[in-house]
Homo-oligomer: A and B are copies of this chain.
Amino acid sequence: MHDTFQPVELAKSYLLLNHGPVVLVSSAFHGRRNVMAASWVMPLDFDPPKVAAVIDSRSYTRELVEASGEFALNLPCRRIADKVLAAGSISGREGDKFAHTGLAAFPAGQLGAPLVRDCVAWLECKVIAEKHNQQRYDLFIAEVVAAWADPAVFSEGRWHFPESARRTIHYQAGGSFFETGRAFDCSGE
């Protein structure tokens, strides 16, 4: 693993997705691999942690995820937003999308799917087979089996973005993103 990675406690891994960032979904099967951008991803449970993700039936990622039963969620930051947009704009069937977008892969801890370099956090996920959801809604449910974060950006269960370039991002539409913005605290009542 890259030397700035730290494991994230599984029961706290939902905190990586709680604020709704865009992710890169990486997948692999029998020497083929792919990466796609996705906004329709959310935590589904705390412990054991689960996620829900929409993976279009026509996508190459779908083919690899169904064949392998796994995928990784990689949280990109503003620095690589142009590559995220490129990963969301073409199909992996047209050629290796890592090569095409300039995104670099490295091995996961527990999956055959690669992780994406220059991201700030990673969740390794194993699909819980739910055929009805997959076929009817393109909806995948998966258990998070490992999680990692750049400790300069996420540690002790909190994000603390050191600079704009390493902020997580949220997709709007038409090539337009938002940075994750200013943090603020409320006391409730």
Contact = CB atoms under 8 A, between A and B. Distances in A.
Interface of A: 15, 18-21, 39-45, 50, 52, 54, 78, 81-82, 84-86, 89, 100-101, 132-133, 137-139, 141, 157-159, 164, 167, 170-189
A19 B41 CA distance: 11
A6 to B, nearest CB: 18
5 contacts: A19-B172, A20-B21, A20-B42, A175-B188, A181-B182
Contacts of A54: 42-44
A184 B20 contact: no
Contacts of A81: 184, 186
A170 B170 CA distance: 11
Q: How many monomers of this chain does the complex have? A: 2
A81 to B, nearest CB: 5
A183 B175 contact: no
Nearest to A18: B39
Contacts of A44: 40, 54, 137, 139
Given A19-B170, A39-B19, A184-B176, A86 B137 contact: no
Contact of A178 (B85, B157, B183): B183
Given A19-B20, A52-B139, A185 B176 contact: yes
Contacts of A52: 42, 52, 137, 139
A80 to B, nearest CB: 10
Contacts of A50: 137
Contacts of A174: 158
Nearest to A51: B40
A42 B17 CA distance: 12
A100 to B, nearest CB: 8
Nearest to A39: B18
Given A85-B189, A157-B173, A175-B187, 18 more contacts: A15-B173, A18-B173, A20-B21, A20-B39, A20-B170, A39-B42, A39-B43, A40-B43, A40-B44, A81-B184, A86-B188, A100-B189, A158-B173, A170-B180, A172-B183, A175-B185, A176-B184, A177-B183
